[in-house]
Amino acid sequence: MNGNAFSFSQLGTLIRGSAVYRSIVRHGTAETNRNRSLVIFENLFLHVHPVKVREKTLKFSHTYWLGGITVSALVVLIATGILLMFYYHPSVPQAYRDMKELKFVVDNGVFYRNLHRWAAHLMVLGALLHMGRVFYHRAYRPPRQFNWVIGVVLLLVTLLLSYTGYLLPWDQLAFWGVSVGTNMAKEAPILGPPLRFLMLGGNIVSENALLRFYVLHCVLLPAALLGFLGVHIWRVRKDGGVQGPPEPPADDEVEP
Amino acid sequence: MPLRRIFAITSILFLAVLAVSPLKNALRPYRGFQRAFARLGASRAKSLQAAKAYQQQPVAIRQIWLPDFENRVDRCTTCHLGVQDASMAGAPEPFRLHPASYHTPKDTGRFGCTACHGGQGLATLEKDAHGAVADAESPMVPLKFIESGCGRCHTSEQVAGAATLSLGRAALERNGCYACHTVKGHEGFRSEAPPIEAVALKTGAEALRRWLKDPKAVDPNATMPRFQLSASEVEELSHYVFSLAPTRALADRVQAAAAEPAGDAAKGKALFAESRCISCHTVEGKGNGSAPELSRVASRASAGWLLAFLRDPHAFNPRTRMPRFNFSADEERHVVAYMEAEFKDFDAPKEILDPLHVNQTLAEKGKVLFRQKGCYACHAPGAAVDRFGPPLDGIGDKRAASLDFGKRTDIAHTLPAWLEAKVQKPGSFQDGLKMPTFTLSPKEAQAVVTALLSLGAKPVPQPYRSVPTVRASLLPGGAVGALMDKYRCLSCHQIGDRGGDISTAPLTAEGSKVKRDWLVDYLVLSFTIRPILTDRMPVFQMTRDEATQLAQAFETFYLDPRIPEDPYAGQPASSKDPVEGKRLYDTLGCRACHILGAGGGYYGPPLTEAGTRLKPGWTYAWLKGPQKWRADVRCPNYGLTDASALQLTAYLDTLVKSPTASKAKRGGTR
């Protein structure tokens, strides 16, 4: 046993001493405050986090994890979405057929498709609840007013992603859903009809619409979402972390 | 630490949930089927090597991909592994060998499965593939109606090898469905129903009332359906019919005929039998049944009308299938006298043929009814066509969810069940529907539904569309055309893809087939070529001039370029050797079906006078492959070489009638 433990620690030392390890993990695990800060600063994936987090903001009732759930759903959506893109052709004769192929032939195809669908529902729901939480915690007030606006944009992009994805299976539900939706857009004054034409690439829900919605769903909207999401999380950090429930007002602030 | 424990447990649970999908994937039913098939195949294999081949088949999805056929992918063979495997005859499903039919099992790779059977070819699960779920997208066609699949590609009226479909298509036409419903390819359809304004000349008030109430009760061969008419509606329509003024010329003919002296019923009886009226009509149910039952005809048509009609049917109804016989005026009177004496309803009241005293108010109401009930779709005077029923194109691909089942909660929610109920009892779905009741036998109903199911929403792509090899030839114009119209050749014979199905001898290649002299003799006095058949060509009392004219025209117009005029051209002299041909005749067993001299079977036509009747080119072409000329023929294809076929032809060509025996023989078959 001792021999084993010895060889393990030897192996550990060997790995930690290697050039490859040291070029990836540059700051070791020395648990000094300085070192912890350095680890965060110099890591692309971690540096969006604040270096220090107040313990009370980690309480569940502070965030209900709603923002986190939304982002996690997004990660699942991107992962499954890329897999689905391998099997999907945005063309009229093929699109619905590909749904069948996913169901009948592709290994775990139904699982990926369902995962994508449920994660999409979860993301919309999470984003809405997150917005409610922020509202009730009065986090839209300065200094977070800018991030509130970013959040509203993110919600809109999320809803648009959800809507554009709805057309892609090219079934009756999709067809009529998009017919109704774009007809609603048409009713907007002045801008309505050209807007609908722009969305559909024509005057009816056709192959052009399918292609447009596909490009929006897989390229433009995800890119916009990721961009705004970066700003959103960066602002959270810059504004001093999550807001949490507002402090109870001091006695002298209470109105008579 | 409870938090860590919760984290650990949820992580494991999460992983377990994630494992469900790959597990389901690994346990898909087709894998089990394929392993079972490998075991079954190995156990039935004749050799060790064959058994190994079964076991070495990888477990994988199998599919038939048809890029030219709507890009179909049929994965049925993933489970139905034995459809083309001869050793799987009689094996349990889903492994059984496909029963032999026209295209199966050899052509399975060309047509796939769903083209005929319906169902969802992409699916790999039984429930989805067979469409056994409520409102499935494309449920399988019940086997009862399987020939509808043939009809998707074969759009001609008669499809060889698909008897039910052909019967159904003929029934659609015969029952006049196309008069009310639009169907592509039948836009020009006109019913054979008599023009309504001439009906009052023929019949009486009581007879008309009985007819309107239920035509099939009066005449079982009637094509007119039963409209659910109340007594007052029957009365109103009768008054309308009798209020119409018939053409003066026709009225005069009937009146003149009624005034003629009666003929001799006994002579009429002989003529009636000789002319073979029951090749189309029936008497007491005996006969072909494609024309009215005659046993009580004298109680629904006046004697004057019968005589005038027999004299010139086409003047009364230009679209009737009845030919004009060349009877002399006396002979005509004899036939009608016979009908008047024998073909009466002796239970009917005396006044059954009395005309109606028209009440104008009722007639006006009847006129409205005539339109409302859709009578005009078949009986309209002139060329007016207004098909007011829903179009039937694409009905075979209708979704069950888009059908109105109305009061019929007793039937399955599927398209075939709906159609079957609809064609049998259209009124049972809802009150006040216009479609009348066609009294169809279960077999006819099955055939009609089969024909309807074959009307797909879109035509099959070009390479799969079966166009009849011989296009419809036009009827010749001039005197010959008039003769063919007079004798209504097309009522029984087919030319190209047109014509009736009573005769088994299409005229399309008649000129390449029979010798002219024989044809002239035959037309003047026709006899039965194949003793087994009951429907025989009527004796029209054609003059020799007319027969010669027709025979000449046939030799000019109805030729097939695939049949050589002189088959011996360019062949060695030995091919003309009838002795070798006789030997072949004996060894091939032709005697089993054909009469020659004293002996032989009854199935095929007798060959005693084959050389008188058939041109050698045709005999040769036929021997090279009988199925090429008639798909349902039983004469086997012996795969004869050119030389053998020619020798046999030469032998058959030597079989000519002896001048003395012929007269007596003909008399016998009359």
Q: Do domains B153-189+389-463 and B478-557 have the same CATH topology?
A: no
Whether residue A157 contacts residue A228, with contact meaning beta carbons closer than 8 Å, is answered with yes
Smallest CA–CA distance, residue B562 to chain A, in Å, is: 43
Residue of chain A whose Cα is closest to the Cα of B61: A105
Which chain B residues are within 8 Å of A104, Cβ to Cβ?
75, 122-125, 128
Give the tens place of pLDDT for each residue, B97-113: 998 888 888 888 899 99
Q: Is the pLDDT of residue A113 over 60?
A: yes
Smallest CA–CA distance, residue A159 to chain B, in Å, is: 28
pLDDT of residue B423: 94
B243 vs B495: which has the higher pLDDT: B243
Task: Express as a percent the part of chain B with pLDDT over 90.
Answer: 41
* Candidates A93, A97, A105; nearest CB to B124: A105
What is the biggest distance separating any 2 CA atoms in chain A, rounded to whole angstroms?
81
A61 vs A129: which has the higher pLDDT: A129
Q: Say whether residue A60 is in contact with chain B using an 8 A CB cutoff.
A: no
Q: Where do the domains of chain B lie?
A: 29-138, 153-189+389-463, 196-371, 478-557, 573-669
Smallest CA–CA distance, residue B528 to chain A, in Å, is: 57
pLDDT of residue B662: 45
Q: Is the pLDDT of residue B270 over 80?
A: yes
pLDDT of residue B433: 86
Q: Say whether residue A101 is in contact with chain B using an 8 A CB cutoff.
A: yes
Distance CA A128, CA B403 (A): 42
Give the tens place of pLDDT for each residue, B23-35: 988 899 999 999 9
pLDDT of residue A250: 64
pLDDT of residue A78: 97
Give the tens place of pLDDT for each residue, A138-166: 989 888 999 999 999 999 999 999 999 99
Which of A58, A65, A105, A107 best tests the B interface by mutation, with the highest count of B CBs <10 A?
A: A105
User: Residues A187, A193, A195, A200: is their CA dihedral positive or negative?
Assistant: positive
**pLDDT-based confidence at B629, cuts 50/70/90?**
confident
Which chain B residues are within 8 Å of A108, Cβ to Cβ?
21-22, 25
Decide which of 2.60.40.420, 1.20.120.430, 2.40.160.10, 3.40.50.300 is the CATH code for B153-189+389-463: 2.60.40.420
Task: Express as a percent the part of chain A with pLDDT over 70.
Answer: 94
Residue of chain B whose Cα is closest to the Cα of A111: B21
Distance set, CA B434 to CA B191, B214, B372, B456 (Å): 18, 16, 8, 25
Contact A104 B25 (CB under 8 A): no
Look up tokens 């006789």; give the residue: B582
Contact B71 A93 (CB under 8 A): yes
> Which architecture does CATH list for B196-371?
Orthogonal Bundle (1.10)
Contact A104 B22 (CB under 8 A): no
SS (H, E, C) B283-335: ECCEECCCCCECCCHHHCCCHHHHHHHHHCHHHHCCCCCCCCCCCCHHHHHHH
* Candidates B22, B71, B124; nearest CB to A104: B124
pLDDT of residue A249: 67
Which of A87, A101, A104 best tests the B interface by mutation, with the highest count of B CBs <10 A?
A: A104
Residue of chain A whose Cα is closest to the Cα of B20: A111
Q: Is the pLDDT of residue B470 over 70?
A: no
Alpha carbons within 13 angstroms on the beta-carbon side of residue B176 total 24
Which chain B residues are within 8 Å of A111, Cβ to Cβ?
21
Task: Express as a percent the part of chain A with pLDDT over 90.
Answer: 62
Under CATH, which number does the domain A61-242 receive?
Answer: 1.20.810.10
Which chain A residues are within 8 Å of B123, Cβ to Cβ?
100, 103-104
> In this predicted structure, which of A146-160, A178-192, B563-577 has the lowest mean pLDDT?
B563-577
* Candidates B22, B71, B122; nearest CB to A104: B122
Give the tens place of pLDDT for each residue, B295-322: 899 999 999 999 999 999 999 888 888 9
**pLDDT-based confidence at B455, cuts 50/70/90?**
very high
> Which architecture does CATH list for B573-669?
Orthogonal Bundle (1.10)
Whether residue B559 contacts residue B594, with contact meaning beta carbons closer than 8 Å, is answered with no
**pLDDT-based confidence at B471, cuts 50/70/90?**
low
Q: Is the pLDDT of residue B392 over 70?
A: yes
pLDDT of residue B468: 64
A47 vs B208: which has the higher pLDDT: B208
Q: Write out the two tokens for B428.
A: 């049972």
Alpha carbons within 13 angstroms on the beta-carbon side of residue B208 total 24
Residue of chain B whose Cα is closest to the Cα of A106: B25
| Element (DSSP H or E) covering residue B64 | strand B64-66
Smallest CA–CA distance, residue A104 to chain B, in Å, is: 5
Alpha carbons within 13 angstroms on the beta-carbon side of residue B457 total 4
Distance set, CA B354 to CA B204, B340, B366, B510 (Å): 5, 16, 19, 48
Which chain A residues are within 8 Å of B125, Cβ to Cβ?
104
Q: Where do the domains of chain A lie?
A: 61-242
Contact B122 A111 (CB under 8 A): no
Kindly indicate whether the domain formed by B478-557 is annotated with CATH number 1.10.10.10. no
pLDDT of residue B589: 84
Q: Say whether residue B72 is in contact with chain A using an 8 A CB cutoff.
A: no
Q: Write out the two tokens for B471.
A: 């296009």
Give the tens place of pLDDT for each residue, B141-197: 999 999 999 999 998 888 878 889 989 998 998 898 999 999 988 888 888 888 888
